[in-house]
Structure 1
Amino acid sequence: MAENQDRTEKATPRKRQKAREKGQVPRSRDLVSIANIGGILLVFYFGIKPFWEKMSRVTASLLSLQYGKDPFAVFQMVTVETVGVLLPFFLVILTASIGINVIQGGVVLKPIKVEIKKINPLSGFKNIYSINGLTEAFKNMIKFIVGIFLIYHFIKKSLELFPLLMNLELLELTKATGGLILKAFVYGFFFYLVLAVLDYFMQKQKFERSLRMSKHEIKEETKEVEGNPLIKSRIRSLQREMARRRMMEEVPKATVVITNPQHLAVALRYREKEMGAPKVVAKGAGLVAQKIKETARRYGIPIVEDKPLARLLFTLDLNTYIPPDFYKAVAKIIAHIYKIRKTA
């Protein structure tokens, strides 16, 4: 109970998708039933005339057996006519069932699994006496009472018309009786339609409540999707450290380190026969700049102080060649270094 009280937040799209993958979508069985009944009523409304004509032919064929007609031919004719009568109802029920389920929750391709706990008698008794079970029982009781009332109303009206119906021929009697039945169906349909729509919204609310999440669950899901912030921070820190180490390994291969002199340091490498322009192999600010300079001193790499040039070079990305605008200033420094090396 306390766990349900903690679930105050709406379900996230990810949880909804997971529920859908499990076949959990809001559905009303009453809405499916009423859609089937509505489809049957439409068949009656638009096809009442051919329906009664076929039924009359079936009845006449059955009655003709007593006059010595071929039983096999009569059976064949009755079968064809009966299939012709029932096929529209079957197709309408199938279409209505599929259509209303698609409208309610879309197509869910979830394999059916037999769950032993669902056929456990103890679980069944628990479901009966649960809130959901009592709600279903109340709805069924209302539907039963209304059904009894409609049957009573139909019988009462039929008894009032009974003297008139007795004087009709078979075909007319069949049509009149069918009209009464159809009328009773229409009354029942509209009442149960209201109940079915209400049931759908109740099922939808119940489904939404079942998907609710606690703030802790949302937080855990966010961690699962986006990753734990602490772990991500640690990974980024390790990646930066590894990149820094690889960069520092390039400093001993540099031709010169240009500084500003304390805050920035940029290491350039240039091989006259191999490279078209000097390349930024390491750069850093603050402690990293100090580390670059210490490494340069250890390996005898010249360090040149040039504040404006150091700032400009620092804006370049690692492992990129300097642009032509910097050629003149950098060439002057490298030429000076080569000159010193020759005279040394």
Structure 2
Amino acid sequence: MADEPDESQKTEEASPKKLADARKKGDVPVSKEVATLGSMVAAIMLIAFLAPSLVRTISGKTTPFVASIHEIRVQNTQYDVLAVLGELFTKIMAAMSPLFLAFAGAALLATLGQNALVFAVDRIKPKAERLNPMKGLKRMFSQDSLVELAKNLVKVGVVTGVVALFTLNELENFTAMASYDLNEVPRRMQGMVIKLLAAVLIVMILVAVIDVIWKQMEWKKKQRMTKQEVKDEFKQTEGDPQIKQRLAEIRRSKKRKDAIGKVPDATVLIMNPTHYAVALRYVPSEGDAPVCIAKGRNLIALEMRRKAEEHNVPVIENPPLARALHAALEEDQPIPPQFFKAVAEIINYVYRSGQRSLSL
């Protein structure tokens, strides 16, 4: 298998085909920070709207255990301690399961929002190189891994700083809770937790935005191509019949739009009347002979006629002349001498009838 090209040789931007092929293989830029941000938004919303009912649910499930705690024995006489604690843990987890599901769902939606839902067989296909310990070590200590580590350290440091500042600012409120009624404490705690999460959320939004931009830049950099790859891809795509057909359609579409778009500037449109159309422009100050500014056949000819009628460009039906001009002329080419007499008669007629002026 040929070696991967050196990164320094990848000087060309990736083509649309290269980017599409990468996506088909499951190679897409995905920011984990966006998933984390989604989970945090879900946490704030759930705490804001569901915290009181969640506290009541957990309290209702744990109160019987607290009330009967004196009946628990170390030995298996009445209750087994581990069994009781296990049952208590299960009930608390069951009560909090909507919270965990919301976190997971928000993270999944945030990931899918980055166009990361790609089913790529190439990603799950077993490969011997994945079992190579040396390549595994290289990945662990690669530039990407070190950048990811540095980013996580900075993120943890900033979030820790935010939490520390928040705790210092709210220290008086924490100590004051000792004098609150027990029913008031959950509500106060809810407000403080929401404020803390909102402060952390601002940091996470900045982190997520920076990470998305970074991931996109790194992904596009990784997809860059060498000059040879660009040449090879061009040969490959040009040789593909479907690609050729598509390119031909694009060229025809452009030609049609160009031809139709120039008709309003014409002095006269000479037609077959339906199969051929030649748009001629004659302004004495621009040249001695009329110039073909656009021509078309069949559907293009009909579109040119419609455009001419919309812009009051005279339409002259002269089948032999239209066919001859269409065959002899290219766009932006003056008419040859053999057509001077016939075209001059038409242009004189147009000027005499007042449909066009010499100044246009």
Taking structure 1 as the reference length, the TM-score comes to 0.57
Note the alpha carbon deviations across 1:45-84, whole angstroms, 9 max, x for none. 222221222233234233222476998999979855642x
| Match for residue 30 of structure 2 among 9, 27, 32 | 27
User: Which residue is 1:152 aligned to?
Assistant: 164
Residue aligned with 1:171, SS: coil
Q: Residue 61 of structure 1 contacts residue 74 of structure 1 at CA under 8 Å; is this kept in 2?
A: no
Note the alpha carbon deviations across 1:202-231, whole angstroms, 9 max, x for none. 001100111111232121112223329xxx
Alpha-carbon distance change, 125 to 226 in structure 1, aligned in 2, over 3 angstroms:
same
User: Which residue is 1:303 aligned to?
Assistant: none
| Match for residue 99 of structure 2 among 83, 89, 94 | 89
Bigger radius of gyration among the two: 1
Residue aligned with 1:213, SS: coil
Structure-to-structure mapping, 1:134-283, within 5 angstroms: 134-227=146-239
Q: Percent identity?
A: 25
1:40 maps onto 2:34 in alignment: no
Residue 198 of structure 1, CA deviation: 0.7
Alpha-carbon distance change, 114 to 157 in structure 1, aligned in 2, over 3 angstroms:
farther
Q: Residue 9 of structure 1 contacts residue 213 of structure 1 at CA under 8 Å; is this kept in 2?
A: yes
Residue 152 of structure 1, CA deviation: 1.8
Compute the RMSD of aligned alpha carbons. Answer: 3.5
Count of equivalent residues: 229
Inter-partner Cα distance in structure 2 for 1:133 and 1:73:
44
Structure-to-structure mapping, 1:101-112, within 5 angstroms: 101-111=111-121, 112=124
Q: Residue 32 of structure 2 contacts residue 111 of structure 2 at CA under 8 Å; is this kept in 1?
A: no
Gaps of at least 5 residues in structure 1 are 233-344
Structure-to-structure mapping, 1:281-292, within 5 angstroms: none
Q: Residue 10 of structure 1 contacts residue 212 of structure 1 at CA under 8 Å; is this kept in 2?
A: yes
Inter-partner Cα distance in structure 2 for 1:2 and 1:44:
51
Residue aligned with 1:166, SS: helix
The AA in structure 2 aligned to 1:103 is G
Inter-partner Cα distance in structure 1 for 2:229 and 2:49:
54
Inter-partner Cα distance in structure 2 for 1:134 and 1:77:
42
Inter-partner Cα distance in structure 1 for 2:5 and 2:90:
62
Q: Residue 36 of structure 1 contacts residue 93 of structure 1 at CA under 8 Å; is this kept in 2?
A: yes
Inter-partner Cα distance in structure 1 for 2:161 and 2:57:
32
Q: Residue 27 of structure 1 contacts residue 104 of structure 1 at CA under 8 Å; is this kept in 2?
A: yes
Taking structure 2 as the reference length, the TM-score comes to 0.54
The AA in structure 2 aligned to 1:100 is A
Q: Residue 58 of structure 1 contacts residue 78 of structure 1 at CA under 8 Å; is this kept in 2?
A: no
Q: Residue 52 of structure 2 contacts residue 187 of structure 2 at CA under 8 Å; is this kept in 1?
A: no
Q: Residue 61 of structure 1 contacts residue 78 of structure 1 at CA under 8 Å; is this kept in 2?
A: no
Gaps of at least 5 residues in structure 2 are 73-77, 245-360
Q: Residue 118 of structure 1 contacts residue 124 of structure 1 at CA under 8 Å; is this kept in 2?
A: yes
Note the alpha carbon deviations across 1:80-133, whole angstroms, 9 max, x for none. 5642x3232222223222212221124211243566655766445544554323
Alpha-carbon distance change, 80 to 138 in structure 1, aligned in 2, over 3 angstroms:
closer
Q: Residue 12 of structure 2 contacts residue 226 of structure 2 at CA under 8 Å; is this kept in 1?
A: yes
